[in-house]
Amino acid sequence: MHVQTRDGDINISDIAVAVAGTQNGDISIERVSQAVEVGSVGGSVSIKDSTGRASVTTIGGGIEVVNLRPSATADRFEAISVSGDLNLEGVSHSQFNARTVTGDVYLTGSLAAGGRYGFKTMSGDITLTLPGDSSFNLSAKVSRDGEIISDFPLTLIPDAIPPSAPTPPAPKSPAPAPAVAPHASPIIVKVAPRMSKVIVTTPVTVAAHTLRRVNAICGAGDANIQVASFSGTLHLVKN
C-alpha cells in the first residue's frame, strides 16, 4: 500500500508493505508483515507490532517504534529525525541505525548477537536501556563536555599506538639501561589519556573532557555499538 497526504494523518494496519508520506500530519502503522517505508514533514511517526525492514524519516517530528522484528537476516532498521526524539522499544533488527539532529535517542530492549548498532545526535542525549547480561563492544565519540554514564562494567581500551621507529645499533660500550617504573595496576576512573587499561565499576561516570573517543568492551562483546553525540550524554542503563 502506498499512501500520501497533505495536512492530514495516515493510519495503516494489517497489510504486507506500507509506504507512506505526509506533510503536517502524523503517521500510525500497526501489524505490517514485510516492510515499512515512511516519510513525514511536520508530523510524528508511530510503528507498532510489525515485521520486516523499516526506514523512517521525519522533519519536525518524533519517531516511536514498539515491537518491530526482522523477517529476514538482511532486514535493516533505520530511523532519522531532523528535529525530534527517537523512542525505540523492542526493535530486534541486527542492522540498526538511529540518528537525530536536535533530539534525544532512547532505546529499550535486547541486543542481537552479532548486531551492529549506530546512534548519532548533534544535540541531545542517547540513553540505551539494556538487560543486565548484555554483552557488547562500544565505540563512542563525545564532546569535550560530554559524559558517558554506565551501569555496566566496562573495560576501556586505548586507541592503537603507532609502531615505534627502528631501534638504532647498540654502541660498543652499552650505557646502563634507564630505570623503568613498574607497570601501574588498572585504576578506577577518572580516565587518563594514555592509560593502557581501565576497569570501570558500576555505576560510573567517564569524564570525556580528557578523551574525545572511548572504546570499551562489556562481557564478551557480542554486539557492536557505535555512538556519536556532539552535545549530550550517553547513558548505559541496566533494565
What are the average pLDDT values for consecutive 10-residue runs of the chain, which has 239 residues?
87 95 94 95 95 95 96 95 95 96 95 95 93 95 84 83 53 51 36 36 44 85 93 92
What is the phi/psi pair of residue 33, to 5°?
Answer: -100, -15
Half-sphere exposure at residue 63, Cβ-oriented, CA atoms within 13 angstroms? 33
Mean pLDDT value across the chain: 82
Nearest alpha carbon to residue 215 among 226, 202, 231, 204:
226
> What are the start-end ranges of the E strands in 74-115?
76-83, 86-91, 95-102, 105-108
What's the pLDDT tens digit per position in 62-118? 999 999 999 999 999 999 999 999 999 999 999 999 999 999 999 999 999 999 999
Which triple of cell numbers denotes residue 20? 507512506
Percentages helix, strand, coil for the chain (3-state, rounded to 5) are 0, 55, 40
Nearest alpha carbon to residue 103 among 90, 118, 119, 89:
119
